[in-house]
Chains A and B, each alone.
Chain A
Amino acid sequence: MINRTTLYTLSLLLVLLGAAACSVEPKPVPYGEANCTHCQMTVSDNRYGAELVNDKGKPFFFDAAECLASYVIEQPEVSDKAAYLLVTDFTNPNTLIEVEKAHFLQSKELASPMGMFLTAVADEATATKMQQEYGGRLLNWEEIKEAVRNNEKPQ
């Protein structure tokens, strides 16, 4: 009898363990409690955080889109297999959007944590409106990576 009970308990716990471990989905960025995977600074500004979720569901947090881009450039073996690459929507703090769908504004007026002046928003209209207000240029993710690679800052 004990054996059966133990078996039941064990299998239940294993299932729990599995469930806890194996969901591949974006996790909220723990502002103030995690260090940026790339630059080690505290991830703290909830308008700029970024995240990479690997194929196994493990999240890596970044304090800014430029750090995510640098990491992707430096660690292709991790990022090629990544399930999600996410940045925070500047206009909706704490909301993550996929980098491919994000619109980036590089404007001298908006300083991001790691000095590349990159701001991400979810939709194009907002991006255009912000560009009119602050100046600068609009980029997509591929262009962001290129800009980070060449360390292009706004003049």
Chain B
Amino acid sequence: MNKLIKYVLYDIVRNKIIVAYTLFLLLLSIGLFHLGGSPDKGLLSLLNLVLLTVPLISIVFGTTHFYNSYEFMELLVSQPIKRSKIFLSEYLGVSLSLSAAFGIGVGVPVLLFAPGATGLFLLLTGIFVTFIFVALAFLASVITRDKAKGIGIALLLWFYFALIYDGLVLFVLYSFGDYPLEKATLVLTALNPVDLGRVLVLLNLDVSAMMGYTGALYKSIFGSGWGIAIAFAVMVLWVLLPLLSARRVFQKRDL
């Protein structure tokens, strides 16, 4: 399988969009660190940006790549190789190259301007989000054969996780204001990888003091080794759930 990844990677890495994406992230990160003044402020603005653009690019690129590689995958299927291998190679190829773009575009500036645990959390979050949204992209792609429809579903998914979900949460929290919601918000956070990533990074920043009692509760949970382990386990779950469902569909459907 790793042979296949090598070729998929080779193809994607030379993709103009990936190069543009890397440069975009690089310029933006450097710009934000210069504008922000303090490294913390730079990280904070970067966080906002990362959690908006990385999912969008990942899901759109993942979906279009899947549809563009359709005939190639057909060709591979005609070869003596398991379908799941083809699928996973494609998946890893896309997510690894997007992660690499992210690693260069954001990781290098972070290492230069704001090295430390917070930066590391931001990078990990970004990479996880990349893997998660590529998985979602592949899920969207195997659901329908129509490219336009697939991209539509992908965009809806992005819209949901980046925007609608938070709106729903706000609505729920507001409606049930009389209830003790601190722990419920923990669960609600876990239900959206974007929120989970954001909270993880925020807790490492000064801003966490502004999160008051709820933030203190979060901190007591995410501050421990166990809490972080659980948070990242949830992230892993967020990668595996869509990925494995997509693989299942892919294995059982006609090309």
Contact = CB atoms under 8 A, between A and B. Distances in A.
A2 B179 contact: no
Contacts, number: 47
Q: How large is the interface on B (under 10, 10 to 19, 20 to 34, 35 or more residues)?
A: 10 to 19
B180 A27 contact: yes
Contact of B187 (A9, A17, A34, A35): A17
A21 B184 contact: yes
Contacts of A34: 212-213, 216
B248 A1 contact: yes
B178 interface: yes
A28 to B, nearest CB: 11
Contacts of A56: 178-180
Q: How large is the interface on A (under 10, 10 to 19, 20 to 34, 35 or more residues)?
A: 20 to 34
25 contacts: A2-B245, A2-B248, A2-B249, A9-B241, A13-B187, A13-B191, A17-B188, A20-B186, A20-B187, A21-B176, A21-B179, A21-B181, A21-B184, A22-B179, A33-B212, A33-B216, A34-B212, A34-B213, A34-B216, A35-B212, A54-B178, A56-B180, A57-B180, A58-B180, A59-B180
Interface of B: 176, 178-181, 183-184, 186-188, 191, 212-213, 216-217, 241, 245, 248-249
Q: Nearest 9 pairs between A and B by C-beta?
A: A33-B216, A20-B183, A58-B180, A21-B184, A56-B179, A34-B213, A17-B187, A57-B180, A2-B245
